[in-house]
Structure formats: structure tokens, C-alpha cells
Chains A and B, each alone.
Chain A
Amino acid sequence: MTATPTFPDLKPMPGLPMPGLPMPGLPMSGLVLDGLTLSLAGRAILRLSLRVEPGEIVSVMGPSGSGKSSMLAAICGTLDPAFQMAGEIRLDGRRIDVEPPELRRTGILFQDDLLFPHLSVGGNLAFGLAATVRGRKARRSCVEEALSAADLEGFADRDPATLSGGQRARVSLLRVLLSHPRAVLLDEPFSKLDMALRSRFRAFVFHELRSRALPALLATHDHEDAKAAGGKVIELESPGAI
């Protein structure tokens, strides 16, 4: 396995495993979709059972409308109420499909970096930092460490709008990682980047995910992404063809 994460030691959150420690192989670990079925107006548009091991990046591919985004929304808890969901979603043995989004400990990366424009880079990064990290100095040093590890030293007080696309993408990933998720969802996060940036950023994201042994689910329609992810590849059918 690669080096331990470069974040300062955090006290474990009650009831949850120590952040960052890999626990592969145990039947309780990782992200599990158990008979996840999504229906709209009585018609099933997605039926999936899937297991994502810690450190594995599973790619879900399919044309538009095949339900990739709905699947991700169901996992993170922001599914449109018009959909009906059946089945279970478990993360590290714990059922999360009955939890509200803010308690599921899943992180998400979208196509756009979605950095909060009214906060500085440091403010964005600190947003997801646990409340157990107390005091401005401690929080600040967490943020600074994360920034230096990503080659963005000194960017803490910058206005996000002044960063380049690549820098913003990196900050966006750091923001997710600083909230110590137990699984990460990727909603085509590379598709808006230009070719050169794309493979570099992709490598950066996958490296960080693997080194923290986080299970990840990647929705994409780029086969290069799936190849680089190296994990299982699930092909979703077009709508209506379950």
C-alpha cells in the first residue's frame, strides 16, 4: 500500500472507523448497493447490485438518461422525490439509505468545481472540516497541509475565481477529502477539463482515492476514464431496457 495520508491525526468520530485506515476484504467494508432499484412513475429505470471495495474505483457507463446521475443521487441522498427507491445502500456495514445526505459520509465531485464563490480557497477547504478540529490555528494548519500536499502552497487566502481551471479542480477534490468521507462519488468530473489537464487531474484524483482506501464510484461515458480507474466496469442499459 502507498504512504499514509498526510493529514494530521484526527480523533476517530464516535461509532465510525478511524479515518484513512484501509480495511480491505472484510465483508462489512466498502460501498454496497443491495438490489438498488429506481423507478419513475411505476417504471423501473435502474436495477443494480454492486460492491465497491475500499480503494477500488468502479466505473458506471451508459448513455444519457440511463440513470447514472440518478444512481449517484440515490447514493448521496439527494434523489428527486419523483423517483421511488427500493433496496439497500450500505457503507462500511452501516445502512445509509435511511440517513439524510449530511450524515452519509459520502463525498461527491461534479463536472464543475462548484467552489463557493463567497469563501476564500481556505474557507472552502475548511467548510467540510469536522467540528472536532477546534480552534482557528488547528483548522488553518489542516488546510495549509492539504494545500501544500497538492502543490498549492499559500493559496489559502486566495479568491477562488482567480485560480486556473486545474487549480480549482484540485481544490475541489481537496475539499471533499478534508471532510473525511467514507466513499466518494464522481459525476463525470473530468469531462469539462481540456485533454492535457484531464489525464493529469484524473491520475491525481485516483491516486488520492486509492491511497486513502476509499471506495469510489465513477459515472462516465469516456472509456479512457474507465481504463485508468482500473476497477469493475458496469454498463447501464438505455432507458427502458432493464
Chain B
Amino acid sequence: MIFRLGPPLLLAVLLFPILAGLTATVLPAFGYWPALGGTTFTLDPWRALLALPSLPRSIGVSVFVGFITTLVSLGAVMLLMAAFMGTRVFGLIRRLLSPLLSVPYVAVAFGLAFVIAPSGLIFRLLSAWAPGLERPPDLLIINDPFGLSLAGGLVLKEIPFLFLVALAALPEVDAVRAFGSARTLGYRRVAAFAKVVMPRLYPQLRLPVLAVLAYSLSVVDAALVLGPNTPPTLAVAVLRLAEDPDLELHFEASAAAILQLAVVLWAIGVWLVLERLADLIWGRWIVGGGRFFFEAAARVVAPLLAVAIAALVALALISLMVWSVAATWRFPAISPQAFTLDTWRHELSVAWPIILRTLLLGAAVAAFAVIITILCLENETRRGVPPASVFNVIYIPLLVPQIAFLAGAASLLIALDLDGNSFGIGLVHLVFVLPYVFMSLSAPWRAHDPRFRVTALLLGASPWRALWAVRLPMLTRAILIAGALGFAISVSQYLATLLVGAGRFETVTTEAVSLAAGADRRVIGVFALLQAMLPFLGFAMALILPALLFRHRRGLRET
């Protein structure tokens, strides 16, 4: 009975804030927001927006970053799969890449900045060989005007994401057997993969790929750290307008947010057209009979790629760690001249309420998301129906740019006097956490042998007991992992907390990003590491708890 509430609750949580937020952004975009004196529809905000000289470049950079990130990530993932599918290294790569998913974007961005910046690790290493490099070179690497370092930072996170999604999709398209058959017909690895596996695999990846495109086009926090500054990406420009103390600019900000949405939709449209084109060209190439496709290059590039990604992220995290305990670390030294724990001590003593708040909020949001997901999935189980297509709605929060509806949602909450408090913020976090929790838990849930439930029922257990005493305990690990993922997503939320919290609700992430403007890398190191460690704690719990609870139950350790 209560389980029938599941799907409507899911829809409400996911769609209502987005629709309400979008409405609250569209209206001021056309001049209507009574609270600020806008009582008639007008195109003035658009005129003001389009008059901004930096706008075309902002849009250009955003689009460039979006497409480059998506293309490179997708290409890299395909290459890795082609080169290593079916080999022992495949499992190694998966284990290497999985943890990267839980490191928040901002931590990765900061760490990467510390590595590739002119005064970063790479140049310090170079200075050992290149004489005359006494000072950091005057190169605009971080915050470069083309957004390349931003794209680089995003790629580091998107490759593991797409890789793991593709991995999950492989069994569904019977990839391994098709791949094997192609190879027995004489096709080399890359060609076999590209001609036989990819056409089947790609449709399963389409939504995640579009999510990557939408995200990299409209990301704010990573862009604040790594992206260009003058002009900034479109999303950052929107944020600046939204944050401007001059309330008149609110209308322009709303127009800019709608423009961001329009750009994302346009980009998705362009991508889908490109898909069609690729389909045509690919189709002819597939039956052309060629059995090679840059095979040698792939054999060399793929392993390098895998190593490079892992190495970069490792280096990034190490840089964060070293900086956080450094006292002085002048260029071009490879390691700090002096170490100290003072930064940690000071920041922790000041920031522990923030850490606690982030933790509690994340745990609460994750718990709610897990409960709603279980309601939906158990409802599906009880009705005995196959997965409803209504659940595709979980992709919507991943495709709509956050900035497009969060500004509106924030205004709405202000109007309702709910701004700045944890309930409103938690609700908005839930919008982004629920899709991931659902995606993570639904697969193991649906794959669970239904005969266990049948057995329990026929032994006389009520459906409630079959859930509590059989299915949930057997799925403990999957539930905890989904919860840990939800926790990680909540911890890494930036825009949601910033806008809906009206700047008054500080989490580890908002603090970390606001430090990007400052120059003290030691403090940045501490906060970025904190931001990275919290999700890690969540996942550690998700792995340790079941191992403890079920230490005498071998049957549950092999999931």
C-alpha cells in the first residue's frame, strides 16, 4: 500500500522542483517578477543580455568545452574497451577507475590545478632539467581562455563514469561474444570493437553521454576553479549575474539561465544530428571489409591512457595532501621546505561545524533517496510488472543545466520563506541524489533472484516480511553502496547549496570553491581533501559494514 506512493513520490521529487524552478526562471527572463517590480512581460532582459560584449565568447567556450569533453571521454572509453576487453587487465582497469567516481569534481579540479599549473608539480619536475626556470613561467595554463584545462579536469572524471556505465551495459548487448566472433573472422581488436560492439553498445550509452555533454557545457564549480576568467563560461556568467547585488540584474540573470538551457538543448540536438551522420558513415564502413583501424596506435595509446588517468588523479590527490601539510613550498622545490600540521589544526577547529553539517545533510538526503528508491522498486516487485519507462525521468535532473532552474528555485524558496534552511537545501539536493541512487540500486534489485521472494511467501511470510527479512538483508551491500553514492553526490553539490542556501549555508564544497579565488594553497589543500575524504568515508562504510555484519555468512560475500 505504502509502496504505491513510491513512483508518484519519485516523480514529485524529481520533476516538481525542476518545473517550478524553470517557471520561476522563465518568468523573470521575460520581465515578470512582481517582487522586484516586474509586472509586465517585456524583452528588455534579453536586449540587455545580448548587448553583453563577452556573451558570444562565453557561449563559444562553453560549447567548445562541452563537445571536446564528451568526444574525448567517449573516444577514450571506446579505446580502452577495444584494447582491453576480455583481457585480465580489464578487471584491473575497472578497479582502478571505480574509486575515481567518488572523488568530487572540485577536489579533482583543485588537485589537477596544483599539478599542471605553471607553479605546479609538473613544472617543478621540469625545472630539474630545464635550467633557468627559477620562477614559474608566465603561461596561462589553468584558467586558459579556451577552457582546455577545464575540459581536461572534466575528462578525468567523465572517463571513469562512462567506462563503468559501458561496462554495465556490455552483458546486455552480448558484446563479448560478438567481439569474439568478429575476431575469429580476422578483425583486429579496434576494428572489431568499432564495427561490431559499438553500434550495439552506443544506444545504451546515449543518455549518459548526453548527460556528460549537458554537464560539461553547464558546470559551474569546476569552471570556477579551472575555467577561463575573462570571459568566463556561460554558466559562470549566469552565476555572476545572479549573485550581483544589483537586483535589477536578476532579470538579465534569468534570461541568461534560459539561454544556458537553450544552448544545452541545441548542443544535444547537434549531437543527435552528428549521431545520424556517424550512423551513415559508420554503416558503410562496417560492411566495407577493412579489418584494421589504427591498431598499432591503439595498442600503444590505450595502456598509456589508462595509466595517465590514474596517475594524474593520484598526483592530483597527492598534491592536495602535500600542500595541506606544507609550511613553505617555494618554486621550484619538489617537496616543501618545511612541513606543519598547523593548517589542518586551524582549519579543522574553525570548520568542524561545516564538516558536521555537510555530513548530516548528506546522510539525511542519501537516506531519503534510498527509501524512495526502495518504495518504487518494491512496488514494481509486488505488482510483478517490468520496469516502467516512467523511470527514465531520472535522467532529467542530469540533463537540465543546474543553473537554469536553481536560480528560479531559489527565488521561489525565498518567496516561501524557506531559503537558507536545511530542509529546502536537502530537498534540492535530493533532486540530484535520487537519480544516482536509483541507477545504482535498481540493477542489483532487479537482478535479485525472484525465487527467494517466492520461497519466503510460500513459507508463510507476508510481503512485508519477505521484504524486511529476506530481500533487504540480501541486498545490504547494494543498498549501502547506493547510499554512499548518494552521500557523495550530496557532499559535492555546489550550486544547489550556494543558491538555495542564499550563501548562508556553508558546506565543505562551498567553502572549498570560494577559496579558489584566494591564493593560499595550503588551505585549499585541506578543504579539497576534506571534500574528497567525506565520500570516501561513505564508501568505506559501505564496504566494511557488510563485511562485519556478514562475517560468518560466506554466501553474502560473493556479490
Known: A127-B459, A127-B469. A159 touches B554 (CB 8 A): yes
Using Cβ atoms and an 8 Å threshold, which residues of chain A touch B383?
A: 81
Of A108, A115, A160, A162, which one neighbours B458 at CB under 8 angstroms? A108
* Interface check A104, CB cutoff 8 A: yes
Using Cβ atoms and an 8 Å threshold, which residues of chain A touch B384?
A: 78, 80-81
Q: Could you tell me if A102 and B463 are in contact, using CB atoms closer than 8 angstroms?
A: yes
- The proximity string for B residues 422-454 relative to A, scoring 1 for CB distances below 8 Å and 0 otherwise, is 000000000000000000000000000101101
- B516 → chain A closest CB, angstroms: 47
- A124 → chain B closest CB, angstroms: 9
Most buried by A among B454, B456, B550, B556: B454
Of A80, A81, A118, A175, which one neighbours B459 at CB under 8 angstroms? A175
Restricting to B38-71, which residues have a CB under 8 Å from any CB of A? none
* Interface check A150, CB cutoff 8 A: no
Known: A112-B451, A118-B474. A102 touches B556 (CB 8 A): no
Of B463, B474, B476, which one neighbours A116 at CB under 8 angstroms? B474
A102 to B554, CA, bound (A): 29
> Which partner residue on chain A sits nearest B469 by CB separation?
A127
- The proximity string for A residues 65-80 relative to B, scoring 1 for CB distances below 8 Å and 0 otherwise, is 0000000000011101
A134 to B473, CA, bound (A): 24
Is chain A's binding surface mostly helix, strand, loop or mixed? Answer: loop
Most buried by B among A81, A105, A118: A118
- B29 → chain A closest CB, angstroms: 46
* Interface check A40, CB cutoff 8 A: no
A181 to B554, CA, bound (A): 30
* Interface check A110, CB cutoff 8 A: yes
Of A101, A110, A118, which one neighbours B473 at CB under 8 angstroms? A118
A77 to B456, CA, bound (A): 13
> Which partner residue on chain A sits nearest B463 by CB separation?
A102
Using Cβ atoms and an 8 Å threshold, which residues of chain B touch A220?
A: none
A104 to B457, CA, bound (A): 9
Q: Could you tell me if B462 and A102 are in contact, using CB atoms closer than 8 angstroms?
A: yes
- A71 → chain B closest CB, angstroms: 14
* Interface check A161, CB cutoff 8 A: yes
Restricting to A120-162, which residues have a CB under 8 Å from any CB of B? 127-128, 130, 159-162
Using Cβ atoms and an 8 Å threshold, which residues of chain A touch B455?
A: 108, 110, 114
* Interface check B88, CB cutoff 8 A: no
> Which partner residue on chain A sits nearest B473 by CB separation?
A118
Using Cβ atoms and an 8 Å threshold, which residues of chain A touch B470?
A: 116
* Interface check A42, CB cutoff 8 A: no
- A141 → chain B closest CB, angstroms: 19
> Which partner residue on chain A sits nearest B555 by CB separation?
A117
Of A106, A110, A161, which one neighbours B555 at CB under 8 angstroms? A161
Q: Could you tell me if A81 and B452 are in contact, using CB atoms closer than 8 angstroms?
A: no
Q: List 18 A-B contacts (CB under 8 A).
A: A76-B458, A77-B457, A102-B457, A102-B458, A107-B459, A110-B451, A114-B452, A115-B555, A116-B470, A116-B473, A117-B554, A118-B474, A118-B550, A127-B456, A128-B459, A159-B554, A175-B459, A179-B459
Known contacts A77-B457, A107-B459; 16 additional CB pairs below 8 A are A76-B458, A78-B454, A81-B384, A101-B458, A104-B458, A107-B458, A108-B454, A110-B455, A114-B449, A116-B456, A116-B474, A118-B553, A127-B459, A159-B552, A159-B554, A175-B459
